[in-house]
Amino acid sequence: MKNYVSRGDNVAVTAPAALGSGDGVLVGSLFGIASGDAAAGDRVVIATAGVYTLPKVGSQAWAEGVKVYWDDTNKRCTTAATGNTLIGAAVAAVAGGASDTTGVVRLNGTV
């Protein structure tokens, strides 16, 4: 079909801030994982689908399958919906200790 652009698993966006490879990126309602380093204002390819280990709130326990949101202010995942953007679901349970600061998330590819 002549109007097809791409699968959309990887898209180029304008970096809203300096980014490192693997950083979470929220541009409007589009969330993804930076595929490389980028300065603010540069174009960067982000992955909008897949399973990633991401930073999370250390005091939150996650159950497998729980909805995961992106806290763009603190650049980490949370289970708190208010003021945050839904990005996917937890693939594995995570304890809620202060040192439990990463979780595995399947990105939903849409918001």
| Domain extent for 93 | 10-107
Whether 1 has a pLDDT exceeding 90, the answer reads no
pTM: 0.92
Q: Is residue 5 part of a domain?
A: no
In the chain, the number of structural domains is: 1
> Is 38 within a domain?
yes
User: Coil, helix or strand for 4?
Assistant: coil
The model's pLDDT over 50-107, given as tens digits with 9 standing for 90+, comes to: 999 999 999 999 999 999 999 999 999 999 999 999 999 999 999 999 999 999 999 9
In a domain, 1, yes or no: no
Is 48 domain-assigned? yes
- Has residue 74 been placed in a domain? yes
Identify the CA nearest to 26 among candidates 70, 68, 61.
70
Q: Distance (Å, rounded) from C-alpha 15 to C-alpha 40?
A: 5
